[in-house]
Amino acid sequence: MKHSLLHNLRSFFRLLGQHRFYTAVCVVGTAVTIAFVMVVVMVYDFRTADVAPETRRSRVLYNYGTQCMRPDGSNMWGYRALGPTAFHAFFDNLPGVDELTWHGGLSKAVCALPASSDRRSVMLRAVAANWFDFFRYRFVAGRPFTQAEYDAGRAAFEQADDEWRLVRNREDGVVRRFIVISERLARQLYGGAAEAVGKQLLLDFQEARVVGVVADVSSIFQTAYADVWEPFTLMNEDNLDPNLATAGLIGFRYAVLHLSPGTSAAAVRAEVDRRLAQLNSQGLEYILKDPKLYTHTEYTFFRDGNISAGLVYALLLVVLLVVPAVGISGLVHAQMQSRLGEIAIRKAYGASNANIIGHLFIESLGTTLIGGVLGYALSCVLVVAGGTWLFGTGGVELQGIVLGSDLLLRPSLFLAVLAACLVFNALSTLLPAWMAVHRSISYTLTGGE
């Protein structure tokens, strides 16, 4: 059996060598087609699939800003995050939402080890107490901050004596900043994740203690990504504008809502709009308008545009797949016409119709598989090499993107695209082959003359 397999492989590659131009065009055409289709599918899949740590993408809504202004339309704040008053008015006990969390957006911070002049720029995200329950981070060392550590952030500030500021950081030697950091940052600062737990660092020149280390999160995860996560209480929201100036309508809270099974995004939006109208009717100095609530796909693609991301990508796939495939199919069909004489000779020597068709199908299958493997490899190279350009949307500054095997190795996607190419190639091969073997030998040899 092993000898027979080797013999068949040698015969296959010998046949490919006899038709080098045809083979090269089919392999390259299939590879390029699969590569570009896979890149499109990968980008869409990476940005929308339920992948850790954002395992709830298909059932979440994001609040990403609300307009605030006086009732006469003056003194407009533009689209800003919610303050505590509006946040609780909109989302407390909201029907159809079974879990809620929030964050303060992504910002740059400076971190360094104590007594070190080596400062590093990191991406910092202030998060709610239940953040690490809502998302599925993998802790490689330590743990999330506790409720007590989260609440300690409220005592990190004191009333200032300076006239130009209201509050300042406490300087009594008690650490009130407890943070979680990424594995990459832990390696850079301490040499490893385990070594980082319990250690102190300076975050924006204020002492903080590391309580946990999570596996690196790629920046393609717009909401879950950061280098450092700190308790939202450390934003000192209660003592800062715009929260103070708008009586809590505008602040620093970006909500993430997980919808209950059977709940539609439209129903949640309608209830939030009803609560918005109720809040605005209370005669406050400021009113709110147009709270932005996006599904994950809306949040990721064409935000604020009335465009269906799924439809756009589907049309793009059709163009990228069908147009090259039709061209390759035409070439295969023309090449098959040139081999009608070969088919007639095989029939004359006793080859059965099934044997001839099977032989031609194996050739087509082989070139498609070779092109498919090359195309998949090329798509991975394109995604990794051009990650910042391909994923550079959504308000996150993308840099140093790391795409692990759990993102790149998606066999179902590859097999689906490969199957589509195989169907086109098979039809363009089998149809003329079937027509040829059912003609008389003399008719095939003379070309129907």
What residues does each domain of the chain span?
A: 2-53+308-445, 65-291
- Residue 179 and residue 228 in contact, taking contact as beta carbons nearer than 8 Å: yes
In the block, which residue shows the tokens 């929260």?
Answer: 243
Q: Does residue 161 surpass a pLDDT of 50?
A: yes
Burial of 438 (0-12, 13-18, 19+ CB in 10 A): exposed
Q: What is the amino acid identity at position 385?
A: A
User: Pairing relation of β-strands 206-214 and 200-203?
Assistant: antiparallel
Residue range 371-416, pLDDT digits in tens: 778 877 787 777 766 655 566 544 444 444 445 545 555 667 667 7
Whole-angstrom Cα distance, residue 178 to residue 55? 25
Residue range 345-352: average pLDDT? 72
For residue 427, what pLDDT is reported?
67
Q: For residue 53, give the DSSP letter.
A: T
Give the bridge partners for 396, in sequence order.
none
Q: Does residue 436 surpass a pLDDT of 60?
A: yes
Helix, strand or coil for residue 374?
A: helix
- Which is more confident, 338 or 266? 266
pLDDT band at 233 (very low <50, low <70, confident <90, very high): very high
SS3 percent helix, strand, coil of the chain, rounded to 5, is 50, 20, 30
Which among 227, 209, 229, 228 is positioned nearest to 218, based on CA atoms? 227
For residue 171, what pLDDT is reported?
67
For residue 266, what pLDDT is reported?
94
* Peptide bond before residue 53 is cis, with ω within 30 degrees of 0: yes
For residue 240, what pLDDT is reported?
85
- Residue 396 and residue 105 in contact, taking contact as beta carbons nearer than 8 Å: no
Give the DSSP H/E element, type plus range, for residue 94. Answer: none
Q: For residue 223, give the DSSP letter.
A: T
- Which is more confident, 79 or 226? 226
pLDDT band at 425 (very low <50, low <70, confident <90, very high): low
Cα angle for residues 4, 9, 10 (degrees, 5° grid): 100
* Peptide bond before residue 242 is cis, with ω within 30 degrees of 0: yes
Whole-angstrom Cα distance, residue 438 to residue 436? 5
**Low-confidence winner among 222-236, 250-264, 368-382 (lowest mean pLDDT):** 368-382
Residue range 56-87, pLDDT digits in tens: 999 999 998 899 999 988 888 888 999 999 99
- Which is more confident, 420 or 283? 283
**In 220-369, where do the E strands start and end?**
228-231, 254-259, 287-289, 293-295
User: Pairing relation of β-strands 200-203 and 97-112?
Assistant: antiparallel
pLDDT band at 367 (very low <50, low <70, confident <90, very high): confident
Whole-angstrom Cα distance, residue 264 to residue 352? 59
Residue range 362-366: average pLDDT? 73
Kindly give the interhelix angle for 340-348 and 309-338, rounded to the nearest 10 degrees.
Answer: 60
φ/ψ of residue 181, rounded to 5: -125, 165
pLDDT band at 297 (very low <50, low <70, confident <90, very high): confident
User: Pairing relation of β-strands 206-214 and 178-182?
Assistant: parallel
**Low-confidence winner among 285-299, 328-342, 419-433 (lowest mean pLDDT):** 328-342
Residue range 247-272: average pLDDT? 95
For residue 387, what pLDDT is reported?
59
Give the bridge partners for 121, in sequence order.
110
- Which is more confident, 114 or 430? 114
Residue range 187-193: average pLDDT? 94
Q: Does residue 364 surpass a pLDDT of 60?
A: yes
